[in-house]
Each structure stands twice: as C-alpha cells, then as structure tokens.
Amino acid sequence: MDLERDIEEKLINRLTQGVSQWTRRDDIKTVSQLWDNFFKILSKNNKAQLHDQPLTENEKNTIRTQITKPNFYQAAKFMVGANRQVKFHLKREDSTLPDADLTILDNTNIAGGTSVYEVIHQIQLARKFELDQDRRSDVTLLINGLPMIHIELKKPSESIIKAFNQIQKYINEAKFTDIFCFIKMFVVSNKTITRYISAGQSLREKFLTAWVDDKNQRVDNYLDFAREVLSIPQAHHMLADYTVLDNQAKNIILLRPYQIHAIKAIFKASREQKSGYIWHTTGSGKTLTSYKVARNLLQIPSIQKTVFLIDRQDLDVQTVSAFEAYAYNDTINVDDTDNSYDLANQLIDNEKKVIVTTRQKLQAIFRRIDEQKDNLSKKYLKLKDVKLAFVVDECHRAVTPSQKKELEGFFKNSLWYGFTGTPIMDKNARAENGNDARTTKGLYGDLLHTYTIKNAIADNAVLGFQITNIGQENVEDEENTEKWDKLYLKDVHMKAVVKKILNLAYVKQGLKDGNRYAAIFTTSSIKQAQKYYHIFRDIANGESEIKVPKVIKEKAVDFPRVAITYSISQNEKDSEDNQKDMKVSLKDYNAMFGTNFEMGQIDAYNRNVNDRLARKSKQYQAPSQQLDIVIVVDRLLTGFDSPTLSTLYIDRRPMNPQNMIQAFSRTNRIYDNTKQWGQIVTFQYPETYKKKIDEAIQLYSNGAATSDITAPVWTESRKKYIAARNGINQYLLDKKALDRIVDAPMEEMKAFARDFQKFDKAFVAIQTYDEYYNQDELPEKERISIPALTDEELEHLQGVYSNVIEKIRENGGDGGNGDNSDPEFDWEYELTPIYNNKIDERYITNLIQNVVSDTNESELFLNEKDVEEIDETIDNLEKINKPKADIIRSLWDKVKQNPQEYAGTSISQLVEDLINKENHRLMQEFADKYKVDYNDLRYVINNYVSDGDSTRQKGMAEMIDREAYEKFRDAYPNAESLLKWKHRMRQEVDTFYTDKIRPLMYTE
C-alpha cells in the first residue's frame, strides 16, 4: 500500500528528472529559510543594479513588507509587472549608492536567463491563532524563490476532496500568507486522480479541473500530470501566459486545458501564416480564450497589432466589460469611442497592442478612404500594410461573409481567427449568395481545435440540460402552424404559461434549496413579450386570479421581480405603442430598484438589465437588487453570461440549430452544488421541439446521443430512483442490523456502500424534477408510491455509510492503489448534505455574503431592505433551531456594525468556524463534567449515528472503559457501578448529541 511520503518522493523525483528542471532543496524547511533563499537569488540576479553592495537587513525588510500582499489576488496583481518583467524600485539605505531597479521575475526568459526553479517539501507552517495547530505542507514549487504552485497529496485510498479541504483549511487558518501569498495554483492528487485550481481565498470544489491532452483525453495519474503540466517550461508558461486576473471579480483565473490547446493551435497557425477557427462550446469561456489569444499573439514578431472584432450590437452586452476586467492589470487598449480617426491612428502607431473595436468603425475608415482616394494622406496609405491578426468572438454574428471579404481585401497582411460555439456546417449551411462563404470553414479556414458540449460536460466545464417540453397531449397536427400560432397567442394559453412558470420556479430557479436563480423568458414578438409583462404585472399588483404559490412566498415574498428588454426603433410601425409600453415598464423598474431611467436612456436601461441579471457586479449581488425573470424576444440569447441564471422559458417556435444551442447555453454555467442542470422549458409544439432539440444536440456534440447532454425524462429518473430505493430499503428493516454492517465482512460492507451510492445519486437526481413536488397532479402510474424517507433515516444511512467507507479504506478494501474493479463503486463519491426545505443556515449565509464586499472597499453601506430580510430570516430559523440561529445572529450583528471588516471573507466559513468553536466548547464542557478524554469524545461524536444502536457507536467502548470510570469515581465517590455507569453514559452521550451537537449540524 502506498504511503503519502512514498507518493511525495516519487513526485519530487519526477519533477527533478532531466535537464533544466526543478532543483530539490531539502535544506529549506521554514518561512525564514524561504526568505533567505529568495534574497540570495534576488541578489545574484541583480549584481549590477546592487553595484556589488549586498542588501542590508533594513532593505530586505522594506522589500519583504512592500511585495507581500494580504491575499492571492493582490499578490498576483503585483506579479504582473510590466513588459513581462516584475521589478522592485529600491532606494538604497546608503545614500551614496544609486537606486536599484531589482528584477524579481523575468517572464521573457522562461526556462533560461535568470529563472531559478526549485522544489521544497514538508515546510513548517506556523500557527497564526491560538486555537490553530502548526502544519506541514506537502510539495511547493518555487520560481526565483517565491512559492508559485502548491501540491497537496493523499493516499490512493483517500479522496482528493480531503486534500482540497485541507488546502481551504490552511487558507482559513492564514497559513498561506507572508511569502506564500504568491501562490497562483493549487494541485490536489491521490496518485490516481489529479486536479488543479487557481488560488483564491474561498475555493469552490466545482472548479477543480482535470488536465486533458490536445485530443481531449484526460490525464489523471499524478506523474503524468507532473510531466504534462508541472515540468519546465510548461509550469512557468501556465503561470505567466495562461493566467488571467479578473479585475471585476477580483479572481485569479487559470485557463482550462482546452483553452490552452486552442491558444497553442492558433500560435502554430499564425507562424505558418494560416487563418482558422476554434469550435469551443458556448459557455466554455470563449471570450476569455479569445482575450488571451489576442494578448499572446503580440509575442510573435511578425504581428504588429491584434484586433478583437465585435459588432456594434455587442457593445451593450458583456464583451467589452469582460475584456476591460481581464485587461485592467495588462497592457490592453480597449477602443470604445465612436471616433474612427483615433482608430486609424492606433492601427498605424508603433505600439504593439490589442485593439477592441467594431467592424462599423473599420468600415467608416474605408468610406473615408473612398471619399479621399485621389488625395489620400500618408496615414491611410500606411493602413493597408499593417500586419494584423483579427480575433473574432461569436464569429458569425460579428462579421458576415461579405463584410469579412471587404476587410480582408483592404488589410492584405491580415490573419483571421474565429471563435464559435455553434459553427455553421454543411448540414446547416447559409443560403447561397454568389461566392460568399456558406460555412465556418469556408469563411475562416481550417478547424484548429474542437471542444464540444459533450467534452465540456464530461470535464464539468458546463452543465447538461434538463428539458421539459410542455404542450397539449396527443397532438398529431403540429404541422398546422397557422392553427397553433393563433392558439398560442390567446390569453388562455399565455395565462396558463405564466401559471406554469410560477409553479416550476420553485424547482427550476432553485428556491427549494434556498437559492434564487434568474431566468430568461423568450417570446415570439415584442407584442407578445409586452402582453406577458402585463400578466406578471397584474399578479404583482394583486389584480389577477393567478397567485404566486405559497411555497415560493415562504422563500421569497416578492417573487417574481420581472423586467422586459427590447430595442425600440423610431421607424417601426408599432414604435409608438412599443414606447408607451416601455414607459410603463421603466416606471415599474424605477420603483422596484430606485433607478431613474427615461425613454431617452433605453440603451442605458438595457445595459442595467443585463448587469442586474448577470449579478457579477457587487451592487447587483445584494438580494434586493436582483431580477428573477427577464422577458425578451432575441436579446440576451447569445453572448450573455451569468452563472446564476438557471432557466430559459420558451414560448415561440423552435429556432434553427445554432440559435437553439446558443439560447440553451445561457443556462448551463457552473455555479454551485445545487445547480445541477441548465433548465429548459418549452410551451409550444412539444413534439417538434423534441425532434429539433435532438437534431441540434447531435449536430453540435459531434454526433453524441441526446442522453449524453440532457437529463433523463421524469419516468426514467423515477424508475432509477425506485430501483435504488428498493435496494436500500432492506437495510432499514432492522436498524440494529444496519449498525452492525460496519463489522460485517468486506464484501458486505462494499455491497452496502455500493447500494447507498446508487440511492444517494438517484435521490439527488429525482429532486431536480418539478414532478417530484407535484405528484398528486400525475397519473397514478407516474407517481412514486414509496413513502419518503425521514431526515432521521437519511442521516442514519449517511452516518453508517461514512463509517463503512472509512472501515473499507482502513482495511485496504480498495486494493491499496485507489483503483477498484467494480465500475459501480465510486471512491471519490461525496455525500449530498441533507438540507431541509423550510430554511437552513446556507440560505442565510448566502444572503449575508451578498451584502458584504468582495474587496476591501473604503466605504460599504448595507441596504435597509437586505438588513430587514436577513433579520427576518434569522428570526424564522430561531423558531426551529435556536442554537444555530444564535451563532449566525452573533456574526450578523458584527457585520452590521462594521461591514468593511468582513470584505472579501467567506461568511459560510466564518459560520462554520463559529460552529466548530461552539462544538469544541460544548464537548470540552461534557468531557470535564464526566471525566472522559476529550479526543475520545470528539471521535465518538464525529462518527455518531443518530438512532443507531448505542452499544455499537464507534469509539464508545474505548471512551467509557474501566480507566475512564475510575477517573469519574474519583471525582464522584458515590458513583453507581461500572455497568450502570456505562449504560447511563451511553444515554448521556445520546442526549448530548441530540440536544446540543446535532442542532449545530442540521436544521430540523
């Protein structure tokens, strides 16, 4: 069986193999030794600047104080430097010496020059707080003496999530501060499974990323991962060239492998003077990839400028703001003016840079050239010879074949790289128009890299879709579109749709889990969109027979907050009516959010709706500032990105394949563990939609089956759940027998663990269906006839499962190598927490998290509505769980007094820390009272199975042995006999767990 130290040793050996790889430094074991090593390298690399006069202790302290930052993001900002070099300007202590510009890191000399690569292990991480412990880290990689990559290892029999949680624990304990603030990348591995994630103060398990090669084949083994990712120069390139700082979210972003392979493919093509396109599924981060392509292409000497080309219509959405957020700490020039003269000047100046502009501005330059063709200035003559690389996101929307032909004809020395999630292929080629290109390949050239929706779902880069097609049953004449189009515009249909949306939102928009995800509702026309808006408006004003379901009102009293967005043309026939309707909508919107938009500010209003729906800016993360449903015709169905948007409601005819996948993909961004699918609900032509969806998915997943991309229908999921439930029922018939499974033979323990995993997966899946919560509306044959398990039964099963898994691992039941021949058994499986549908602390901590800043803002004011909502929610929790409510309220009171103090912190982690401290206090109090060993008690409580056999609780016998009894009797001379004492202690522990500890773990 592999031990962690053996795995660690093999990894270090792999990292240090070969020429110009990592150098092993066993002599570095403390933070002070790390700093000594850093200054040694710094001094060696800057001899000329230091004029052979060594750094004094005061100078070292100055450097150390000024380069260390409070968090990973701030440190990464400093490490951006200028022109790929990180420098520090030092005023020498000896005034006779000139100032020194010290080079800390030179990214122009990767794997050469002054770059020094070292690997250290088992470094002491000293405690920062009294209750913490001293720690030792596993493996850390240094570049020029600064920790850049940290690797946490576990045995094959342990989950990588344990390593992930350990890293987060170190972050919470402030272990990764001081010189460790420079870490940009964490790696976790148990030898057979390896993942990486960018450094941040609050890590999300969902963003653990597997490495895949350029053929999209996964690289899981830790030594293979070390070769592919952590060797030199790859590791340095990962940090220098494939990392982006998001100024808006204050995050470090490490590119995913498919993004890196796409960038490399474009580099190769550009060196060969070839154009081409990238097919990366919508939602996989094309804008981020294209940004990095545009930035990195400037490293090629033959390219003078890169132009990120967008259509003017995109300027009111997110592309430019995303570029600005990525480029804030970079050398990107975002051209967002209307002045094509300035654009012409930027194109011919001597500065290598990226220009973000529109094709309309370029075409304005062409018009000016046509007007002045007999008397052209030197400036315009120069333009034709500029060597450009055009990078085109959403490449079919930004430029048409005829427009591209015009641009290419002028800029003779141009290369073109298109990005699309839905390429146009022979099967859905454009209509013939002379010699214009009809497909993406015809327009841009060869396909350079592919990453389909099937690949993205397999890599957990995006979610699959859960599709609900609603409509009349037994429809045989859907081809009679004239008949059905009329019916779909009638009030009776539209009111039925709104009523259904309100019922579906409980599940689809996450209210059942304490979330409040957003939705887009797309209709066939502006007129229909307006009618729908008025139906929702009447409901909000209490003027409709349609009511918001009570179960939703209990979660969100003002649901749904609805807005409408569309473009208004002064030349439209219905423009006057549209403007009247929009005035009503603006008045409602202003009242809802305290804004002051007027008809002359429609573009600003539309941008505000976009931002509010996206919830990326701090001001729109406050619950009171969020939208629930936005009604559109075509706006927001392409290019719009929001991880908190979960649902697309569709009341219109099926779209063409590319537009359908684009629209669906607004919903499937990764967010949190409760967002399982992108939710799609259609209200017209159910059979036609089913057929068209199948065709679109097959086209844009390289022929994958629809079942690979979408959730099973209710009947299939119900069947799986009933089978899994029947498999687990046998264990519930005899609770004492259930408790004894932990002592059963290995095969019986594995059989239980396998059965429980099947059940847990099926139970999580079934709860994502609206039908699960409305079974009384289903035909008898489609209902789940088995009574639901109680929370106590679920907790009992989970407790036994956790103990069984630990026992299997302790006894080498996995063979000791992390591999298992049983394909139905998942060693990495993580249990789904039990959450009550009424209210739980996660919902409250989300509310509090949304009202504290993600950055260290100097001024932060709490919205009165948010304060009232949180106060009320804590009051409601107190009615069912006072101990937990008291803890959350104590933290909330502190947040209200000084919100700035909690800027950038994880509220859920703070609550967890407070709960852990209260658990510690309670257990210490119990141990002192009954004279049992604290560590023994903690072990019993951590493994306690509620409603289990008290004589078989794990660790109980060891805790209440004769030695413990003797200590108790010494303190209480009149104590009962040993046997009676043991019996009473079991009862006392059960009462203690039930009354004191359990409320802090669960909400009843």
Domain range summary for the chain, segments of one domain joined by +: 4-246, 255-451, 468-708, 714-812, 840-905, 916-1001
* pLDDT score of 130: 42
Say whether pLDDT at 853 is over 70. no
CATH architecture of 468-708: 3-Layer(aba) Sandwich (3.40)
Residues 669, 283 contacting (CB under 8 angstroms): yes
Bigger pLDDT: 312 vs 389: 389
**Predicted pLDDT at 77:** 92
The pLDDT of residue 171 is above 90: no
Tokens of 294: 């545009």
Residue 248's pLDDT band, with cuts at 50, 70 and 90, is confident
Q: Is the pLDDT of residue 998 over 80?
A: yes
Per-residue pLDDT at 473: 59
Cα(first)–Cα(last) distance of the chain, in Å?
A: 42
Q: Mean pLDDT, to the nearest integer, of 642-651?
A: 95
CB 282 within 8 A of CB 421: yes
Given this model, what pLDDT does residue 529 score?
A: 95
Q: Which CATH class is domain 255-451?
A: alpha beta
The predicted pLDDT at position 419 comes to 92
In this predicted structure, the answer to whether residue 817 has a pLDDT above a threshold of 50 is: no
**For the residues of 758-823, what is the DSSP string, one character each?**
HHHHHHHHHTTSHHHH-GGGS-GGGS--SPPPPHHHHHHHHHHHHHHHHHHHHTTTTTTSS--S-T
Residues 534-560: pLDDT tens digits? 999 999 988 999 999 988 887 888 899
pLDDT at 812: 64
Q: Is the peptide bond before 401 cis (omega within 30 degrees of 0)?
A: no
pLDDT confidence band for 173 (50 / 70 / 90): confident
Q: Does residue 314 surpass a pLDDT of 50? A: no
The answer on pLDDT for 343 being more than 50 is: yes
Half-sphere exposure of 14 (CA within 13 A, CB side): 19
Average pLDDT over residues 27-53: 94
SS3 974: coil
Task: Mean pLDDT check: name the lowest of 80-84, 96-100, 184-188, 362-366.
Answer: 362-366
> pLDDT, tens digit, for every residue of 769-778?
888 888 888 8
Q: What is the pLDDT of residue 835?
A: 42
**Residue 499, pLDDT above cutoff 90:** yes
pLDDT-derived band at 61 (thresholds 50, 70, 90) equals very high
CATH of domain 4-246: 3.90.1570.50
Looking at residue 266, what is its pLDDT?
Answer: 94
Is residue 236 predicted with pLDDT exceeding 50?
yes
What is the mean predicted confidence (pLDDT) over 197-213? 90
Widest CA span in the chain: 114
Q: How far apart are the C-alpha atoms of 617 and 318, rounded to whole Å?
A: 12
Mean residue pLDDT of the chain comes to 85
Q: How confident is the model at residue 135 (pLDDT cuts 50, 70, 90)?
A: low
In this structure, are residues 677 and 668 in contact, taking their beta carbons and an 8 Å threshold?
A: yes
| b/e burial code for range 147-166 (CB count within 10 A of at least 16 → b) | bbbbbbbbbbbbbbbebbeb
Q: Which of 162-176, 195-209, 440-454, 846-860 has the lowest mean pLDDT?
A: 846-860
Phi, psi of 32 (to 5 degrees): -65, -35
pTM, entire model = 0.75
Tell me if 255-451 shares its fold with 468-708: yes
Beta bridge partners of 449: 278
* pLDDT over threshold 90, residue 335: no
d(CA 730, CA 716): 23
Which residue, among 311, 471, 299, has the nearest Cα to 398 in the 3D structure? 311
pLDDT of residue 828: 65
pLDDT at 127: 58
Share of residues in the chain with pLDDT > 70 (%) = 89
